[in-house]
Amino acid sequence: MRIGFIGLGIMGKPMARNLLKAGHELVVYDVLKANVDLLAAGGALAGASSRDVAERCDLIITMVPDGPQVIEVVLGENGVLEGARPGATVIDMSSIDPQVSQRVCAACREKGVHMIDAPVSGGEPKAIDGTLSIMVGGDGKVFERFKDVLLQMGASAVWCGEIGAGNTTKLANQIIVALNIAALSEALLLATRAGVDPERVFHAIKGGLAGSTVMNAKAPMLLDRNFKPGFKIDLHIKDLNNALSAGHAVGAPLPLTAQVMEMMQTLHHDGCGQDDHSALAKYYEKICGAKIVD
């Protein structure tokens, strides 16, 4: 199948590569030409713009940072809808405000173009090995038609409801991940201040009720003080902003989300926005004046 892929950042690049490995012909575009050249060197066809990609493909996948970029890429000048033929399908895999997904889908529908939202969870490591969790909103028949394509980038793809439901599910995921990292940081700082080895605490509790995928992934990074980003604090701030916006829109109180957002904002202003979100531990170290691990 010929697939258009727009957005070749930390996540999009390995996702596109996995589609190439699966045997698809890809037409790719990114605002950074170096990213396009990198994929072209691996066998993809270079697109000149989002419009050009859409003119050459009936399935277009977008993977860009946030809602404004989705609007620009799909609805803007030289965007997807200027080139897409009636009957084409857009799969937006960006993590954005569900209200933006609904707006973009309505514009697509007016042009006779299908759209589903399909954000992902798992960060760069799972994007690389093709084991992302994919959450989908939109027409269930469109999802079923392209489910196999999604599963060439992920280990699971679950239909969650109408358009925007995928991003609502992703925001729920991001709330849980952020609060888990905050709780982990808080707990390990307690251990350190009480004179207990935080690594021993981690190994003692990871098999019990407190254990989680988040803990297993982030505790070793935190204990090694390895904050190389799999998922950046600045990106998590973006997601929590969208969660708070969505919560306000539907009347869902999110007080814990708001608190962790302020912690992350503090780290952003301290110059840690490009660190992995496990660096949330630095917030606790800042207010305590001591490190969890020296």
pLDDT tens digits along 148-158: 999 999 999 99
Please check whether residue 294 lies inside any domain of the structure. no
Say what the pLDDT of residue 25 is: 98
Q: Is residue 293 part of a domain?
A: no
pLDDT band at 294 (very low <50, low <70, confident <90, very high): confident
Same domain for 228 and 117?
Answer: no
Q: What is the pLDDT of residue 5?
A: 98
As given in the structure block, the two tokens for residue 146 are 């392209």
Claim to verify: residue 11 and residue 124 sit in the same structural domain: yes
Q: Are residues 229 and 110 in the same domain?
A: no
152 and 199 fall within a common domain: no
**Domain of residue 204, residue span:** 168-288
What is residue 123's predicted lDDT score, i.e. its pLDDT?
A: 85
CATH number of the domain at 214, please: 1.10.1040.10
Contacts of 126-131 with CB under 8 Å at 24 or more apart are 126/154, 126/155, 127/10, 127/11, 127/14, 127/15, 127/18, 127/153, 128/14, 130/18, 130/154, 130/155, 131/155
Q: Which of 21, 33, 126, 170 is catalytic?
A: 170
Average pLDDT of 210-225?
96
Asked if residue 24 and residue 108 are part of one domain, the reply reads yes
Averaged pLDDT, 63-80: 97
Distance of CA 276 to the CA centre of its chain: 13
Shared domain for 175 and 209, answered yes or no, is: yes
Cα radius of gyration rounded to whole Å, the chain: 20
Q: Are residues 207 and 280 in the same domain?
A: yes
CATH code of 6's domain: 3.40.50.720
Q: Confirm whether 218 is a catalytic residue.
A: no
